[in-house]
Amino acid sequence: MLNERLARKGVGPICHLAVVNLATGDIEHRLVIEGVVEELYDVVALPGVIRPMALGFRSDEVRFTVRPEPA
């Protein structure tokens, strides 16, 4: 059904992560994922988050940014 709707509009599928301003509905930022994507594993709303960002695991950036909550 999705492929048929896209074909009627003359566009192809795009996989991306988007930061959507919930107050305005505008897409503030977008990260396009190229290649074959089989499944999107998670979608989440981050209310009150002012500066969301994606972190890579190949640098030390994640060690200094992600802090687990105390037990």
Q: Does some domain include residue 50?
A: yes
Least confidently predicted of 7-11, 18-22, 48-52, 62-66: 62-66
- Is the separation of the CB atoms in 65 and 58 below 8 Å? no
Q: Does some domain include residue 52?
A: yes
The number of folded domains in the chain is 1
Q: What is the pLDDT of residues 11-24, one digit of tens each?
A: 888 888 888 888 89
Q: Does some domain include residue 22?
A: yes
- Kindly give, in sequence order, each residue whose CB lies less than 8 Å from that of residue 26, ignoring residues fewer than 6 positions away: 20
List the domain range (segments joined by +) for residue 23.
2-65
Q: Does some domain include residue 70?
A: no
- Residue 37 has a pLDDT of 76
Q: Does some domain include residue 24?
A: yes
Q: Does some domain include residue 71?
A: no
- Residue 71 has a pLDDT of 67
